Amino acid sequence: MRPGRSTRGVRSLPVFLLSGLLAAWPLAGLSQDASDQRDDVGSSAGEPVVSDEAERFDCQTLSARPSPESAQAWLERSLWANHCYAFQARAVRIGSDGVRSLALSHDIVEGVEREVARFLDGPPVVFERRGRIGRLGWADDDGATPASPAGLVAHLEGLYRLRLSGEERLANRNTVRLDIEPLDDLRYGHRLWLDRATGLPLKQILLDERGRVVETFQITQLNQPRLHRGTIALDRRRPAPDDPWQPAWLPDGFIPKPVQTRSPRHDAAIGHRVYSDGLATLSLFVEPLAGQEQLMPGLHRLGVSHAAVRHRELGGRVRQVVVMGELPPRVLIRVADSVTWQASADDAAP
């Protein structure tokens, strides 16, 4: 079936797709234990529980580290800064859906991070996310599952080329520019302007596979970032789920992210998994068509993201497969078409 294209907005899609939009949060590395999207300010999901055995990172060690010299070291410093600095900021996002201004905040309470993004124009939407420092993979027989900043930069080798490209002044702060260029045409490129004093990203440009600007995200005012005086919890080791379905093809470097994808916003029949190469992220949803809101098969645009939709026979019944993310549309379509189902006794159930 030749994919179609839809220009419908986010609100015309099922609510479970909104959770996938959180993956676009610039350089976020949370395990996303709890997230919420709402039309105005209200209560959020409950606090995640941190076990006594949880590993922790002492944010104060960042103050003793020398200023980075290489592109790889600057990226790692920025990833840690995203976890360890509490701040409030104003920002603008420029994409295919226009210009939006936002109020951002990040804080840490008892080792758990909380991020809030509030749109200041257009519909009064608020995104909130809480979590710990995410890991690179599922736990496997008590094997090593390092925190994302510790292993992410090494994972990017062979997927992207990193280089420093001079200095600029943004939001009344001195920045270092970091260019991240993909080594294939299966993912997007990034340009980052990192605050020289903290490592926080003050500006990010997303470039498609042809080098065209897809989105610009820029902090216009950063209010006194404060290095957290304490530790931040690493996410617990999570066993891999036993899903009957899986994608038979993913771009090189994409691995399953060990995040909690079950949410009260999802119907129990909706399967959801997240895959990432360390920078680019895609969300994969699989659900029975019967009794569910159906999307038109094809390609749907969600701001700077796309969603590829397929209706396929899997496990003895027709199911809706949705793959979304900030990736070339043909990549999302290929992933959706590759999903396979491992037959089991349960598949015979009505």
Say whether pLDDT at 103 is over 50: yes
Residue 242: its pLDDT value, please?
84
Question: What is the per-residue pLDDT across 6-27, written as a single tens digit (0 to 9) for each?
Answer: 333 333 344 334 333 443 444 4
| Structural fold of domain 27-233 | outer membrane lipoprotein receptor (LolB), chain A (2.50.20)
326 within 8 A of 230, measured Cβ to Cβ: no
Q: Measured between alpha carbons, how far is 151 from 278 in angstroms, rounded to an integer?
A: 9
Question: What is the per-residue pLDDT across 249-280, written as a single tens digit (0 to 9) for each?
Answer: 999 999 998 876 665 555 667 889 999 999 99
For domain 239-348, the CATH class is alpha beta
Angle at the Cα of 253 from the Cα atoms of 144 and 16, rounded to 5 degrees: 90
Task: State the pLDDT confidence band at 337, using cuts at 50, 70 and 90.
Answer: very high
Helix (H, G, I), strand (E, B) or coil at 136: coil
Q: Measured between alpha carbons, how far is 180 from 204 in angstroms, rounded to an integer?
A: 11
Say whether pLDDT at 248 is over 90: yes
Residue 270: its pLDDT value, please?
83
Say whether pLDDT at 42 is over 70: no
293 within 8 A of 248, measured Cβ to Cβ: no
Mean pLDDT (the chain, rounded):
81
Q: Measured between alpha carbons, how far is 58 from 228 in angstroms, rounded to an integer?
A: 9
Please report, rounded to a whole number, the percentage of residues in the chain having pLDDT higher than 90.
58
Q: Stretch 140-144: mean pLDDT, rounded?
A: 54
In the chain, where does the domain assigned CATH 3.30.200.100 lie? Answer: 239-348
Say whether pLDDT at 128 is over 60: yes
Residue 146: its pLDDT value, please?
57
Instruction: Give 313's strand partners.
Output: 318
Which of 109-113, 235-239, 324-328 has the largest mean confidence?
324-328
- Contacts by 181-185, CB closer than 8 A, 24 or more apart: 182/209, 183/158, 183/159, 184/159, 184/251, 184/252, 185/209, 185/328
User: DSSP string spanning 12-24?
Assistant: GS-GGGHHHHGGG
Per the listing, tokens 């440009």 go with 205
Q: Measured between alpha carbons, how far is 162 from 279 in angstroms, rounded to an integer?
A: 12
Residue 236: its pLDDT value, please?
78
